[in-house]
Amino acid sequence: MARPPELSARTRAKNLDVLSREPFDLLVIGGGITGAGIAREAVLRGLQVALVERRDFACGTSSRSSKLIHGGLRYLAQGDVALVMEAANERRSLRRIAPHLARPIHMLVPVHGRSGYVTISAGLFTYDRMARVLKEERNRMLGRDETLSLEPTLRSDRIYGAGLYYECLTDDARLVIENIKAAAALGAVVANYAAVTSLLEEGGKLVGATIRDEIGGGDLAVRAKVVVNAAGPWVDDLRLMEGEGEKRRLHLTKGIHLTLPFDRLPVGRCVVMNAADKRSVFAIPRGKVVYLGTTDTDYEGRYDDPPITADDAQYLLDAANSTFDVERLGFDDVIGAWAGLRPLLHQEGKKPSEISRKDEVMVGPTGLISMAGGKLTTYRKMAERVVGMVTERLQALGETLPEKRGDSETTPLSGGETGDDVDAFIQRLKVRWPRVSADLVERMIQVYGSNGERMVEAMANDPQLARRCGADSALTVSEVAYAVREEMAMTLNDFLERRSRLFLWDPNNGLNVAADVARRMGNLLGWDASRVDAEVEAYRKHVHDVKSFATSSIPEARVAHG
Ligand SMILES: Cc1cc2nc3c(=O)[nH]c(=O)nc-3n(C[C@H](O)[C@H](O)[C@H](O)COP(=O)(O)OP(=O)(O)OC[C@H]3O[C@@H](n4cnc5c(N)ncnc54)[C@H](O)[C@@H]3O)c2cc1C
């Protein structure tokens, strides 16, 4: 099996050097899903591409979503047929290029009366036909008894019946990192912890940017014919660097999620709940935890790690308490949480949940192309549109376009070569490598897709690689090495929060393995003992802070959910 190129601290250092020396066709600012998707699309079209991220890849909104690849059902209610078709198409395409990152799941929508039942039934029927949903994945309406036998945790007093439809579950941060890896494997020059601090102009035209190396220190200038601003919630900050005349256009809304132990809310599938203000929110089981999400409130405050207020958490707990027949859920049951900011375009007079999620492109006076809005689900289509604009700009500059190297809709992502049936792929590996425990084979493929096959093979040949980091942890030592050597993990937080995702899915947030992982990362990255301790301490503080709900960080009037 061919070994993919290294993507490590050493690659990062080399890349920063290349960035300072070579001119690029395209510089992408921001390593969230928007930037990562654009970088991959652009290298597939043969362009010379650079991508810089001020902290870690996916550290912004793209690791803080609900992790659903929506088929566009919600756009049907808004009458936006084009968006329904686009979301449905993109869901199909992601299932083709990265099946392990678009796992089909059932969503159950409980209904409390006959008229609701008729409306949902009509909506799901229309959606299935419009979105060309596969026959075996079409929606179903359930009567009261079937609903309660399928989901006995529901409060029975309120149930009339339910709708059952398909969505796909993804892992947002891993979707970003696999796009970054795919782009890098095709020659994109990428660096995390590399922040754009100013834009470079010549004769009123944008020609690149100044980058600060947030790890080694020092500044460097990157030259590029076209610059794309994919900075998510920070998009306006970059736009304002372009000139005094630019005004802020974004309207940030915050969404939070809570994780609870599965034992406290043992739901068998994803359940759509009605919040007090009639918004739909979800309860989604994921291994040993269940997560609740999300809110949608106006936000002003820091963009990194937006704080979660007690009001935010209460809103979701109330929705769960009114939906499920379990012992009352309270703050003490919350074992984890995350908050993200939607970088939406401001629309006068609209409430947070009414603002369009459609992506929009803005072009600044010196030529900066900025993205706003959008969804994880439609990132590839958005990238196609933006790179289309980039190639037009290059042609206008007199450049001859290079030959295309592949199609983003059909070329597998990094890890995306399992074939459609991920479970069958897992089964084959279990048979092929019986010396590796079945639960490890499952974990490697579910998290790393087809890249996990190489890890399983290595474990079969060297059982030391299958050693766990900590007695009761599923995490293996080989994953730490993989993230450092092939996924540019530079800090303990990068690994626990965005590569392995223990921060979210481990009931202990990965704290029980933090010291062990930090030592192993330190061995690979040359950290001394005090750096190892500092990494563990910073991680502990982060886990503590995210669960210390503030009483309210913004004026009460702005905390209008809905
Ligand atoms: C609560 C919530 C739930 C959601 N759920 C879903 C869902 O289930 N399904 C779905 O399809 N969509 C969902 N979305 C929407 C989706 O998550 C976002 O549309 C998407 O993640 C935005 O990605 P982005 O790359 O534009 O922004 P980000 O992920 O924020 O990326 C921008 C990056 O730019 C970097 N950056 C900023 N300034 C600089 C600089 N000066 N130099 C270098 N880098 C810089 C930042 O550090 C950041 O990493 C959800 C959003 C939220 C908030």
Which residues of the chain are in CATH 1.10.8 domains? Answer: 422-527
Q: Are 75 and 84 in contact (CB under 8 A)?
A: yes
Cα 522 to averaged position of ligand 1 atoms, centre (Å): 29
Q: What are phi and psi of 556, to 5 degrees?
A: -50, -40
Q: How is residue 154 annotated by DSSP?
A: B
User: In whole angstroms, what is the distance from residue 67 CA to residue 377 CA?
Assistant: 9
According to the model, what pLDDT value does residue 555 have? 41
According to the model, what pLDDT value does residue 473 have? 85
Q: Tell me: the pLDDT tens digits for 142-172?
A: 999 999 999 999 999 989 999 999 899 999 9
Q: Are 131 and 82 in contact (CB under 8 A)?
A: no
Q: Are 215 and 193 in contact (CB under 8 A)?
A: yes
* Beta bridge partners of residue 51, listed in sequence order: 28, 190
pLDDT at position 340 over 70: yes
Residue 309, classified by CB atoms within 10 Å of its CB into exposed (0-12), middle (13-18) or buried (19+), is buried
CA-CA-CA-CA dihedral for 410, 416, 420, 421, to nearest 10: 180
Mean pLDDT over each residue of the chain, to the nearest integer = 93
Cβ–ligand 1 contact at 255 (below 6 Å): yes
Cβ–ligand 1 contact at 230 (below 6 Å): yes
According to the model, what pLDDT value does residue 254 have? 97
Among 51, 57, 65, 253, the mutation site with the greatest number of ligand 1 atoms within 8 A of its Cβ is 65
Cα 303 to averaged position of ligand 1 atoms, centre (Å): 11
Cα angle value 150/153/154 (rounded, 5°) = 85
Q: Are 345 and 372 in contact (CB under 8 A)?
A: yes
Q: Which amino acid is at 87?
A: A
Cα 58 to averaged position of ligand 1 atoms, centre (Å): 7
According to the model, what pLDDT value does residue 275 have? 96
User: In whole angstroms, what is the distance from residue 339 CA to residue 344 CA?
Assistant: 16
Cβ–ligand 1 contact at 192 (below 6 Å): no
User: In whole angstroms, what is the distance from residue 107 CA to residue 470 CA?
Assistant: 35
User: In whole angstroms, what is the distance from residue 247 CA to residue 527 CA?
Assistant: 43
According to the model, what pLDDT value does residue 553 have? 46
pLDDT > 70: percent of the chain: 97
Give the CA distances from residue 401 to residues 36, 390, 398, 404, 506, in Å, rounded to whole numbers and listed in that order: 21, 11, 9, 9, 47
Which residues of the chain are in CATH 3.30.9.10 domains? Answer: 64-169+251-353
Cβ–ligand 1 contact at 68 (below 6 Å): yes
Cβ–ligand 1 contact at 60 (below 6 Å): yes
Q: Are 370 and 362 in contact (CB under 8 A)?
A: yes
Among 353, 376, 382, the mutation site with the greatest number of ligand 1 atoms within 8 A of its Cβ is 376
Q: Are 78 and 85 in contact (CB under 8 A)?
A: no
Q: Are 295 and 312 in contact (CB under 8 A)?
A: yes
Which residues of the chain are in CATH 3.50.50.60 domains? Answer: 9-62+173-248+356-396
pLDDT at position 472 over 80: no
Cβ–ligand 1 contact at 29 (below 6 Å): yes
Among 19, 69, 192, 234, the mutation site with the greatest number of ligand 1 atoms within 8 A of its Cβ is 234
Q: Which long-range CB contacts under 8 A does 533-539 form with residues at least 24 apart? A: 535/491, 535/492, 535/493, 536/492, 538/491, 538/492, 538/493, 539/492, 539/493, 539/496, 539/510, 539/511, 539/514
According to the model, what pLDDT value does residue 272 have? 96
User: In whole angstroms, what is the distance from residue 308 CA to residue 312 CA?
Assistant: 6
According to the model, what pLDDT value does residue 560 have? 36
Cα 173 to averaged position of ligand 1 atoms, centre (Å): 10
Cβ–ligand 1 contact at 71 (below 6 Å): no
According to the model, what pLDDT value does residue 556 have? 39
CATH of domain 422-527: 1.10.8
Q: Which of 505, 502, 507 is CA-nearest to residue 539?
A: 502
Closest residue CA from atom 27 of ligand 1: 232
Cα 63 to averaged position of ligand 1 atoms, centre (Å): 7
Cβ–ligand 1 contact at 32 (below 6 Å): yes
According to the model, what pLDDT value does residue 559 have? 37
Closest residue CA from atom 14 of ligand 1: 65
Q: Tell me: the pLDDT tens digits for 197-216?
A: 999 999 999 999 999 999 99
According to the model, what pLDDT value does residue 237 have? 96
Q: What would the 3-class secondary structure string for 262-286 be? A: HHHCCCCCEEEEECCCCCEEEEEEE
Closest residue CA from atom 51 of ligand 1: 65
Cβ–ligand 1 contact at 561 (below 6 Å): no
Q: Which of 551, 153, 143 is CA-nearest to residue 321?
A: 153
Cβ–ligand 1 contact at 270 (below 6 Å): no
Cα 54 to averaged position of ligand 1 atoms, centre (Å): 13
User: In whole angstroms, what is the distance from residue 514 CA to residue 525 CA?
Assistant: 16
Closest residue CA from atom 1 of ligand 1: 255
pLDDT at position 552 over 80: no
Cβ–ligand 1 contact at 193 (below 6 Å): no
**What's the distance, CA 488 to chain centroid?**
17
Which band of pLDDT confidence, cut at 50, 70 and 90, is reported for residue 4? low
Cβ–ligand 1 contact at 35 (below 6 Å): yes
The number of the ligand 1 atom at minimal distance from the alpha carbon of 56 is: 49
Q: What is the pTM of this model?
A: 0.96
For residue 75 the two structure tokens come to 């756009």
Cα 364 to averaged position of ligand 1 atoms, centre (Å): 21
Q: What are phi and psi of 97, to 5 degrees?
A: -90, -15
Cβ–ligand 1 contact at 67 (below 6 Å): yes
Cα angle value 145/151/156 (rounded, 5°) = 55
pLDDT > 90: percent of the chain: 85
Q: How is residue 138 annotated by DSSP?
A: -
User: In whole angstroms, what is the distance from residue 13 CA to residue 213 CA?
Assistant: 10
User: In whole angstroms, what is the distance from residue 283 CA to residue 273 CA?
Assistant: 7
Q: Tell me: the pLDDT tens digits for 108-123?
A: 999 999 999 999 999 9
Q: How is residue 71 annotated by DSSP?
A: -
Which band of pLDDT confidence, cut at 50, 70 and 90, is reported for residue 348? confident
Cβ–ligand 1 contact at 70 (below 6 Å): yes
Q: Which amino acid is at 433?
A: W
Cα 218 to averaged position of ligand 1 atoms, centre (Å): 27
Cα 62 to averaged position of ligand 1 atoms, centre (Å): 4
Cα 393 to averaged position of ligand 1 atoms, centre (Å): 25
For residue 344 the two structure tokens come to 């939406």
Helix (H, G, I), strand (E, B) or coil at 155: coil
Give the CA distances from residue 111 to residues 100, 116, 150, 323, 525, in Å, rounded to whole numbers and listed in that order: 31, 6, 14, 11, 54
**What's the distance, CA 443 to chain centroid?**
19
According to the model, what pLDDT value does residue 3 have? 59
Q: What are phi and psi of 230, to 5 degrees?
A: -115, 50
Please give the CATH architecture assigned to the domain spanning 9-62+173-248+356-396.
Answer: 3-Layer(bba) Sandwich (3.50)
The single residue listed with the structure tokens 């993804």 is 170
Residue that wins the pLDDT comparison between 358 and 435: 435
Q: Tell me: the pLDDT tens digits for 262-301?
A: 999 999 999 999 999 999 999 999 999 999 999 999 999 9
CATH of domain 64-169+251-353: 3.30.9.10
